[in-house]
Structure 1
Amino acid sequence: MINDDVFGQQLADAVRDLDAQSDPPHTLERLVEITPEFFESCDFVGVSLVERDAIRTPAASNERLRELDESQYAIGQGPCREAIRDESTVVVDDLATDPRWPEWGRAMVDALGIRSSLSFRLFTRPDRTWGALNVYSRTPSAFTEHDVVQGQAIAAMSAVALARSINDEQLAGAIETRTVIGQAMGIVMERYGLDEDRAFSVLRRLSSHQNVKLRDLAAQLVETRRLPGAAGEETAPSQVAEPNASL
């Protein structure tokens, strides 16, 4: 058992380590790598993410675990799924005998010899769930109440670091999108003598007319310096109809 002083220092170091990662994939991979350091009996780790209406497991100790962890959402049973949907912490003493998820439990025992697990919801506020951290052991009843309490602290800190990483990536993408659209508008304004509003309207109409996302159309224009048209011909603003367009 890790005493509280050592745990506190380990947790602080882990949070700084996670926060230093460059993007969400690296943050998730690092979380998988450092989590076993906090438990005396931890053979595997998986991290699941909520993405729109789906849940997937992008990071795990190995590929077979990743597949089995993710299978919970297809078959509709498993502790990670329950941690995300119902209980914030789910403890499993022995998957070989636990009646809650018989199909998934048998698969975990047969494939990897996993017998016990802890699943912690990753959330930064009650209405914002990012996913779940799943800790697995080949030993039955491997996790103590102290492990559960410390695991909840690990999950809370990890959720904050993961949220920061995801939000930073989304912000960077939004800034990049605005930048490339601004560059495309500048090209249209200069070439056709349009003001800013008219140039943006042209890009929106072309986006809708060609069923292409505005950002992708803008990137194409910036790269080729040509408004995309049929058969490789450049489209003039006057040739574009005025349909309802959306970004």
Structure 2
Amino acid sequence: MIKISKGGYHYNGKIGIHDINLTINQGDAVCIMGPNGAGKSTLLKVMVGLYSLESGTYLFNGTKIDQAFLKDRKKIGKFYQQFGFVFQNSEIQLFNMSVYDEIAFGPRNLGLDPATVEQRTMDCLRLLKIERLRDRVPYHLSGGEQKLVAIASVLAMNPNVIILDEPFNGLSPKYRNLITQIINQLRAAGKTIIISSHHFNQVRDLVDKLFFFSEDHTITREVAIDELDSLPNYIEYLDNL
């Protein structure tokens, strides 16, 4: 599904990511780990087409994603529909005047009929247990509530790939547990899950594979979760992130 080879990107004259090689298959649940500033968020933005690689190649379902592709409005629309991206700071992606309209915004833009929009919106309100917030203004909510609304707005689009950038940052145990439940439900439904985090204990039971970023802005190793016990150096590394 996602294949990046020798991928590189700079911003403001600095290295964002360098010599990235990774493959993520349909239905995988993976976590990209590493210290702050290593390039995790940059890589996620490349995956969803917010940035275009300056070097190397990015293939999505066999199609090359480059500047020419991202400038083609017909192609890019279908590509964007494949992804749901929940930003680390969820408040930046909330802009409607009610939680209901925030969640309904994506399905409406897809041109779905009103009954389908209503069904998807209500399903997501119930799934995230935020029915009580339906008529609230999103930017008046707590950080945890905003995170749930952002996730609901993404799920209402029914994307194939769901990307969560540091999804547990600053959340109470109650909200962490709820988001954990949601991720497990999405995995069971066959969605591809990509999480960026430096909190190993929060994601260990949610993913099958880890990609390790170094301070050199590159991925140094790919490790299956069930291999970790035989790699004490990586356990120590994770404990010190």
TM, length-normalised to structure 1 = 0.25
Q: Which structure would you say has the larger RCO, counting Cα contacts within 8 Å and 6 or more residues apart?
A: 2
Larger-Rg structure: 1
- The structure that is helix-richer by fraction is 1
TM-score (norm 2): 0.26
